[in-house]
Structure 1
Amino acid sequence: MKCRLTTTPFPDLLQAALLEFVGTAFFLTLGLGGIQAAACLREEPPALNIEQTIYIATCMGFSLLVSAWMFYRVTGALFNPNISLALLIVGVIDPARFIMYCIAQLLGAIAASGIVVGLSNAPLAVNTVLTDTTYAKGVFIEMFITAALVLAVLMLAAEKHEATPFAPIGIGLTLFAAHLWAVPYTGAAMNVARSFGPAVVTGFPDSGHWVYWVGEFLGSLLGAGFYAVLKHYKYWRINPGQDTSDYKQSPPDPVEKAKESLNKALSNSPEGSGRTRVSPSMV
């Protein structure tokens, strides 16, 4: 039985990969550029205060929000091999697109790192390194924040609903929130390409680079696995109609509901037959 890696014509697949490269480079140039600026503005290089953490989180979160919204209808705006892996697992993309996208995303990260260091007067300072944590904790931190990003992409973008056109907002805010937690410990990669690009440009200065491959890989599995469980048990039946914009699905008038309950109580009581029913004009 012949196995086909894709149903997309190769020229279209190549074009999509090229545009994914451009989108990834755009996203990471803005994001890593902000991190480089934060490093250059830091008064004491070893220190990382709250303001700089928020600055970094804002740069990365807003960069993803803007870039994803721009490229959302072009390539899907994945920009991340770990998101690509999750989409492959759940069947959104095929193996050929996964391979082409991963290559494009890794090359895009290298290009973005080169652009940032080329336009800066200081050495590249955007590598993700473990700080005040162990390898094991670093792996689990990266796993959890990557899983959060994967789940945000799957539930907001891959799942089609009323809020799908606004998925980049939720995905960007997820990246922002995860950075607030993980920047002081791991640098909050959430994306193996984001770690790989600067490492290539700077010659892999950190021996813990493997953490960002293992942690992100596990995060892809965790996020995709949880999404698969939600789909298998038909999560939409738990709270039906939650994503509708039909005003008729809004809660009923609380005053009318209270009057109906009161009238029902009066009619069921032994003395109810002689009592006056509550009408709208009496309220």
Structure 2
Amino acid sequence: MGKDLEAERAAYAAKDYHDPPPAPLFDFGELTKWSFHRAVIAEFIATLLFLYISVLTVIGYSRQSDTANGGDDCGGVGILGIAWAFGGMIFILVYCTAGISGGHINPAVTFGLFLGRKVSLIRAILYIIAQCLGAICGVGFVKAFQKAFYNRYGGGANVLAPGVSKGVGLGAEIIGTFVLVYTVFSATDPKRSARDSHVPVLAPLPIGFAVFMVHLATIPFTGTGINPARSFGAAVIYNQDKAWDVHWIFWVGPFIGAAIAALYHEHILRASALKALGSFRNHP
């Protein structure tokens, strides 16, 4: 362990970046800053736009592929197109809002970053509230514009596919969210940001691709949640029993996945515990 600590110290002595200090647990001073309220508004609008485009894509695909009503089972955007809609919108919105709010657009991401001490508890709570409200409004617009099709095709609500057990659905949500939040931590790592600062889209691009890939893998099982606000907004507006029966999976799974990703990145990949131990030994 001593050699590992010496190597860590040598590397950090020569590094050309600085790790930001951990965010305070409670920072009431944020509430007096316009930049904080602007960030909350940005999270609300971004989540609204995300749900509007993505759920409308789901409804449109369901309409186009409904053979019972004259549709073509092979027509429309398909699962690939739905995955692109979700991943593409995340790429666009993270790119647009990263400098204002951090571009979370997902309570699971916010929760993971809170556990990693990247945001305060106050910011995390208000972000999650804004995201959920934005999701409700976004899906509300979809229903307002396409009410008949919205009700007919399930409102884009997350439900388990026939034959998929609750355990399988929960596992899919945990692993899918782990992939997403792990990507968020890696893409926003200060070391990577310093090394690749000349590539302005580097962080939004892998995050968007992570969402795209997870959707390809899990749409057939859960419709892909990995974002409690997305699942909550669709369930609130659709408001049918089947949307609420297993809704807990789309909160518990993403939060567990986010927690595992935060612990893995911060305490294993970045060796925060090892660094803290070395600092303690050097400053008794």
Q: TM-score range by the shorter chain?
A: 0.7 to 0.9
Residue 31 (structure 1) shift = 1.5
Q: 1:92 to 1:204 in 2, by over 3 A?
A: farther
Q: 1:52 to 1:227 in 2, by over 3 A?
A: same
Comparing 111-120 and 9-18, the one that deviates more: 9-18
Query: Separation in 2 of the partners of 1:134 and 1:80?
Result: 25
The structure with higher relative contact order (CA 8 Å, sep 6+) is: 2
Match of 1:231 among 270, 273, 277: 270
% of aligned pairs identical?
A: 26
Q: Is structure 2 residue 210 aligned with structure 1 residue 174?
A: yes
Match of 2:259 among 221, 225, 241: 221
Task: For 1:121-270, list aligned pairs within 5 A.
Answer: 121-124=148-151, 125-131=155-161, 132-159=163-190, 160-163=193-196, 165=200, 166-206=202-242, 207-228=245-266, 229-232=268-271
Q: 1:104 to 1:48 in 2, by over 3 A?
A: farther
Q: 1:48 to 1:66 in 2, by over 3 A?
A: farther
The TM-score with structure 1 as length reference comes to: 0.76
Query: Separation in 2 of the partners of 1:9 and 1:135?
Result: 40
State the superposition RMSD in angstroms. 2.4
Q: Which amino acid aligns with 1:175?
A: V
Structure 1 residue runs without a partner (length 5+):
236-283
Residue 18 (structure 1) shift = 1.5
Query: Separation in 2 of the partners of 1:11 and 1:49?
Result: 52
Residue 172 (structure 1) shift = 0.4
SS of the residue 1:185 aligns to: helix
Q: 1:4 to 1:170 in 2, by over 3 A?
A: closer
Q: Which amino acid aligns with 2:160?
A: L
Structure 2 residue runs without a partner (length 5+):
1-24, 275-284
| Aligned equivalent of 1:84 | 110
Q: Which has the larger radius of gyration?
A: 1
Residue 105 (structure 1) shift = 0.3
Match of 1:66 among 70, 92, 100: 92
Q: Is structure 2 residue 59 aligned with structure 1 residue 39?
A: no
SS of the residue 2:262 aligns to: helix
Query: Which structure has the highest helix share of the two?
Result: 2
Residue 233 (structure 1) shift = 6.8
Residue 176 (structure 1) shift = 0.4
The TM-score with structure 2 as length reference comes to: 0.76
Q: Which amino acid aligns with 2:261?
A: G
